[in-house]
Amino acid sequence: MITPQQFLGSFLREKAAAYAEANALLAPVHAKYFGEPLLKHAHDFLLRDEVELVVEDVRQNGASASLIMREHFRGGDIRIRYHLEAKGESWKIVRIDRECFLCGGTGQLGGAVCQKCNGEGWYDPRENAA
């Protein structure tokens, strides 16, 4: 069975390749529809295909695993936690959380429980949160 790190590495490489292909298709669309000065900043509207990733933590417990990755790009760092479940000889990503940007992952904000992440330090960006 491949390791959680190998699985996630494959996923991220394939995702970056797909984004690079999509960005190549977007460039002529931007050239056609964007005027100046927006056209000078068309790269801001492309998908992030090149991101510096660092594995910070890997935890595996039987048929489940979690990996915390730090993505570094122009605007700063984002920590993302991938939850994996074993499926046959590989893995499937079943949940993706982001470190809470309000409390910085502590779960506390101003001496109280952070309302964004409910004190967890992580949140699912797809969920409705305060």
Chain-centroid distance, C-alpha 81 = 8
CB 126 within 8 A of CB 103: no
In a shared domain, residues 56 and 107 = no
Q: How many residues does the chain have?
A: 130
Residue 50 predicted with pLDDT over 80? no
Lowest mean pLDDT segment, chosen from 44-48, 112-116, 119-123: 44-48
State the Rg of the chain over Cα.
18
pTM equals: 0.81
Residues 86 and 129 in one domain: no
| CB contact at 8 A, 57 and 67 | yes
Whichever domain contains 40, its CATH number is 3.10.450.630
CA 48/CA 4 separation, integer angstroms: 23
Please answer whether residues 129 and 123 qualify as being in contact, where contact means their C-beta atoms are separated by less than 8 angstroms. Answer: yes
β-sheet bridge partners, residue 93: 84
Let me know whether 79 and 20 are in one domain. Answer: yes
The boundaries of the domain holding residue 114 are 100-130
**Structure confidence by residue, pLDDT tens digits, 56-81:** 999 999 999 999 999 876 677 889 99
Q: How many domains does the chain have?
A: 2
User: Which among 90, 93, 100, 92 has a CA at the least distance from the CA of 124?
Assistant: 100
- Same domain? For 45 and 15 the reply is yes
